[in-house]
Structure 1
Amino acid sequence: MTEQAEWSEATMPDQRGISRRSMLAAAGTIAGAGLLGIAAPAAQAAPRAATPWYPSAKFGIFIHWGVYSAPAWGDAKHAAEWYLYAMNVTDPARGLGTREHHLKTYGADFDYDRFIPRFTARRYDPRAWVRLFEQAGARYFVLTSKHHDGFQLFPNPASDRHSVHFGPQRDLVGELFSAARDSHLRRGVYYSLGEFYSPALGTPPRNPYTGAEIPYTGYRPVSDYVTQYEHVHLKTLIDRYDPDVLWADGQGYHEFGGGPIFRPKVWDWRSEEILDYYYRNAANRPVPKSVVANDRFEYAHPDFATVEGDNKTYVLRPDPWEACLNIGKSWGYNENEDPANIKSSARLLQLLVEVVSKNGNMLLNIGPREDGTIADWMSSRLLDMGRWLRINGSAIYDSSPWQRAMDGDVCYTTTRDAFHLIPLRWPGAKLTVPGDVPIDGRARIRLLGGHSGPLAWTRTADGVVVDLPSQRTDDFSEEFPAVLRVSTR
């Protein structure tokens, strides 16, 4: 992932155009609101979705795993997966922590590519990963097939810089996709279009301390980066693994104190060509399948917009979008992670509820260790989310937004047969919501996970007041969201 603020939201246009594969979403925004005697506004009457599955999925797992998982170190300015670039930064204002750490720990002659043999995947158990993702309540995953350091986790004819030839000597993408084949999970791959340093982009890697040009392990010279390298990689991913999601990154020109990266200033990824190939591959088969691509391919009609990080003010959008965010600061595994940056399970669920109420999906990242194990502080949070979703998932999956996403700390979602009030924290003995919330005389309000019958409610001058139990009955602390289901039955 890209770690700079200006490289995520600020450079990304607000994509609201209709994809050429768009169709009306079948989710029940109107059904849920109409059941309770209220008409949804025209703007929400026909939310657009690129495919039937994606806007209903709501929750996916992002996986950042690669050579950077071996040094596993980030500083206050740079996340761990940016280790290769951060060790080349010479501008103190941009942060020298990684550069100084590398020199002290490994020495000036230890090039980044010497970490490749240390990326072993020796305890990688893709079936265990799939079980964890299922237990977390995820509906899809996206694995980094190539991050900005150019190391590929899959074999291909364009390069030997990959995990079958070096390091683990395993097809890491293929193993995870195979393990997930019989699961309910949709499968996706992340691919960095550009790279930090590449001879083919005019930016060969150099020793950060001497400036001497150094070999790019496994690189095969090409004269046309896009045709002979990038598009070959992407076609290999499409043909070999048949992904449901293509997730691009690393598409822009940038200079963050360690030299220009990703691409020259004037550049064309020719993404329409590769995405036409992707969509045709999905359509031209006996049983066509639904696939999506994000907005970082720099093409005309993305299937969903990407909002990176949780430091944004999320807004209700009419078209599909995705909040990709992290449990901590780094996307790759970071032994130097500041505990203060690690979000609690309750906070992650609050973010999930807010994103879903605003018509988005959450793609929550984990960063496995170099050996393929997942830290307990990551897996425990995923399991907490799954435990909450098993009780409250009917308000999340297959839901649509109401005309407003939230009032204060209370979010709203609709489904075919219900409207949901979701306070982000336990509100106490009473919950008051505005009077225009679709609750009429026929409404019955139940607390999901509760052991009591319908809750008493009254309409007052202040709005609708719902009487709640004296304490939670769903085994979650008061910091976790709660779900009140409003229906006529």
Structure 2
Amino acid sequence: YVPYVTSHVSELIERYKPSLLWNDIGWPKGGDLAALIAQYYNSVPDGVINDRWIVSSMKRSPMRDGLLRLAGRLLQAVWRFLPADKKRLTFPGAQWFDFTTPEYEVLEEIREKKWESTRGVGHSFGANRNERPEDIVSATELIRSFCDIVSKNGNLLIGIGPNEHGAIPEEQAIPLRGLGDWLSRNGEAIYATRPWDRASTVTSDRTQVRFTTREGVLYALILDRPATSTFLVEGIDAESVTEARLLGTGEELQRTTREGVLELTIPETAPDEDAYAVRLGTGVRWIS
């Protein structure tokens, strides 16, 4: 099997020179994985690989394979009953990789090394008729999770499960369209951005806020409509803010200062957003 799978990946490298080589779960024991990875980097000098090139030390047997399949079925059966903070999978580190791929992971802080949160639209990475409507992520949850991930130097990989006809089920398409619609209005705060000095703060009513930056411009992603139309963005030095443009409408928001802290007003006439993206300009400072 090792020569078989190695030749497949080698052909992918030489024929298509993919900018990203994404392997799943592991790599069979034996062969020369180092040579294969070197072949990739030599063919695609600016290419990247994920962290799932883990060489298995497990000796396979019919009994062991059966136990693994049984464990997988048990995990699938109990997955929906697990609390949200337990629905996470992190894989042991591979010897060679450019970014990590934890599943359903939520980080508390910015991670210096690039990472990619990997999740399905539901709890599966393929078509699963056993999934209930409540197992499918909502557009709101997907958008807010995406903002959180990007603010912490992450990407989001979303697994979808086409049905037997190759079509995306409507219940999966709804959150994907919601994310796409949101990005069509607010993509400036996402595309080609990097993390700021810190990932997050809150408003004066404790609404969560995430930050991104691009070419010195700071964006605040407010993850809900605050309880009051006028609110503080805790920690932001008001004097350093040069604008407060709401990306979804292009409207310049009213901004003032309260004891040096930025105070914004989102008018009640503004459309509801799952996350409000506000452009704050360049040179924005944090109040230490």
Q: Which residue of 2 aligns with 1:343?
A: 137
Contact 1:294–1:304 (CA under 8 A) maintained in structure 2: yes
* Counterpart-to-counterpart distance in 1, 2:254 and 2:30: 59
- Output the CA distance in 2 between the equivalents of 1:386 and 1:398: 16
Work out the CA distance in 1 between the residues paired with 2:179 and 2:245: 21
Residue 465 of structure 1: aligned partner: 263
Q: SS of the residue aligned with 2:239?
A: coil
Change (3 A) 1:439 1:356: farther
CA separation of 1:372 and 1:344: change in aligned 2, threshold 3 A:
same
Tell me the residue number matched to 1:306: 101
How much identity, in percent, do the aligned residues show?
Answer: 33
Secondary structure in 1 aligned to 2:252?
A: coil
User: Is the partner of 2:257 in helix, strand or coil?
Assistant: strand
1:453 counterpart (248, 252, 260): 252
CA distance in 1, matches of 2:237, 2:156: 26
1:417 shift after superposition: 4.1
Find the counterpart in structure 2 of residue 315 from structure 1: 109
Deviation at 1:234, TM superposition (A): 0.7
In the TM superposition, 1:327-406 aligns within 5 A as: 327-406=121-200
Match of 1:281 among 33, 38, 43: 43
**Superposition deviation, residue 441 in structure 1:** 4.7
Q: CA RMSD in A?
A: 2.3
Amino acid aligned to 2:243 = R
Count of aligned residue pairs for this structure pair: 238
User: What's 1:431 paired with?
Assistant: 231
- Partner residue in 2 for 1:412: 211
* 8 Å Cα contact 1:411/1:421 also seen in 2: yes
SS in 1 for 2:166: coil
Q: Would the aligned equivalents of 2:233 and 2:263 in 1 still touch at CA under 8 Å?
A: yes
- Normalization by structure 1: what TM-score? 0.46
What is the rounded CA distance, in whole Å, between the counterparts of 1:488 and 1:396 in structure 2? 16
* SS of equivalent to 2:95: coil
Question: How far off is 1:433 after superposition?
Answer: 1.9
Q: What does 1:26-37 align with in structure 2 at a 5 Å threshold?
A: none
Higher relative contact order (CA 8 A, sep 6+): 1
Q: Deviations over 1:188-214 (max 9, x none)?
A: xxxxxxxxxxxxxxxxxxxxxxxxxxx
TM-score, normalising length: structure 2 = 0.75
Residue type of the alignment partner of 2:171: W
For each residue in 1:75-128, what CA deviation from the matched residue of structure 2 results, as whole angstroms up to 9, or x when unmatched?
Answer: xxxxxxxxxxxxxxxxxxxxxxxxxxxxxxxxxxxxxxxxxxxxxxxxxxxxxx
Distance apart, 1:300 and its partner CA: 3.4
1:226-245 equivalences under 5 Å are 226=2, 228-245=3-20
* Residue 442 of structure 1, CA deviation: 5.4
Report if the CA contact (8 A) 1:357-1:402 is conserved: yes
User: For the Cα contact (< 8 Å) 2:238–2:257, is it kept in 1?
Assistant: no
Contact 1:269 1:297 in 2 (8 A): no
Q: Is the 8 A contact 1:418 1:486 kept in 2?
A: yes
Task: Tell me by how many angstroms 1:402 deviates.
Answer: 1.3
